[in-house]
Amino acid sequence: MFIKFFLKIIKLFIIVFSNFRKNQDLISELNVWLGIQQGRNAPVTNKMEVSYILRFLSNSNQNIILDVGAHQGKYTDEIIKQLPNSKLYLFEPSKKSHEYLRSKYKNIDEIEIFDYCLSDTVGEKILYFNSDMDSRATLTHREESRTNSYWKEKEVVKSNKLSEFWRNELSYKQIDLLKLDVEGEEFTILNDVKENLHKIRLVQFEFAESNIATKIFFKDFWELLNDKFIIYRYTHFNQLNEIKEYSEYEEFFRFTNFLAVNKELN
């Protein structure tokens, strides 16, 4: 009852202080701010992300963790701090980023690094980027005039399927955390192993501007994961927001991270 009353107050406030709906700029700013409070395009750091993971994984076990799109290893660094007993598998196809990771973790036996991307094919792909070691390097070319980003540089990289890696390297052992940050290719990777999703405990995935280029919607993730997983949206204030049902309002194409938690394994 209180929440409904509070919402009416907020709506009245917006109407009054937006000059009876004429000040659309103010309404837009309020809409962005309210979205951030729900985790949409929120300033969530790697440290915050791993703090959410710790709610479901224990350091008493040797967790199997895949960091797909490892870039410079900042996410992995947080995993090492918080879950030091884990076995980590890093995937980074960019030549310079891969070489950087090799050098960075050369003395850590529990980290294995692979120089290929995960996708829907075994072979080669073209990786597009804006500059060396670009954190937004992508397999699907796109342009963003708003950010002056055009992904004009490219390199040929090796490609593999998660299903192939899982069978050949892990013999389909349970994966405790599958972290995906691959600029719009997250769904492709998950769809490749849809028959074995029940063996994955946690899936962290990103949904952002890149999904416009790949033409993947949040609904695709929902239909793939909802039966076996509870899906949460990360926020920047120590709260996981559960997505209880699909809505078109979830089709928000700005940087947002989600955590899918296996209903049977947690």
Per-residue pLDDT of the chain (266 residues; tens, 9 = 90+): 556 666 667 667 766 666 655 667 777 777 778 788 889 989 999 999 999 999 999 988 899 999 999 999 999 999 999 999 999 999 999 999 999 999 999 999 999 999 999 999 999 999 999 999 999 999 999 999 988 999 999 999 999 999 999 999 999 999 999 999 999 999 999 999 999 999 999 999 999 999 999 999 999 999 999 999 999 999 999 999 999 999 999 999 999 999 999 999 98
pLDDT computed for residue 7 by the predictor:
64
- From CA 213, how far away is CA 209, in angstroms rounded? 8
Q: Tokens 């509870």 map to which residue?
A: 230
pLDDT computed for residue 104 by the predictor:
98
Give me Rg for the CA atoms of the chain: 20
- First and final C-alpha spacing in the chain: 33
Phi and psi torsions of 230, nearest 5°: -95, 130
pLDDT computed for residue 19 by the predictor:
62
Fold of the domain spanning 44-262 = Rossmann fold (3.40.50)
**What count of other Cβ atoms lies within 10 Å of the Cβ of residue 160?**
19
pTM, two decimals, is 0.92
- DSSP letters spanning 24-56: HHHHHHHHHHHHHHTTTT----HHHHHHHHTTT
Nearest C-alpha neighbor of 182 from the set 239, 137, 241:
137
**What count of other Cβ atoms lies within 10 Å of the Cβ of residue 62?**
12
In sequence order, what are the residues at sequence separation of 6 or more whose Cβ sits closer than 8 angstroms to the Cβ of residue 168? none
Q: Where are the domains of the chain?
A: 1-37, 44-262
In sequence order, what are the residues at sequence separation of 6 or more whose Cβ sits closer than 8 angstroms to the Cβ of residue 238? 48, 51
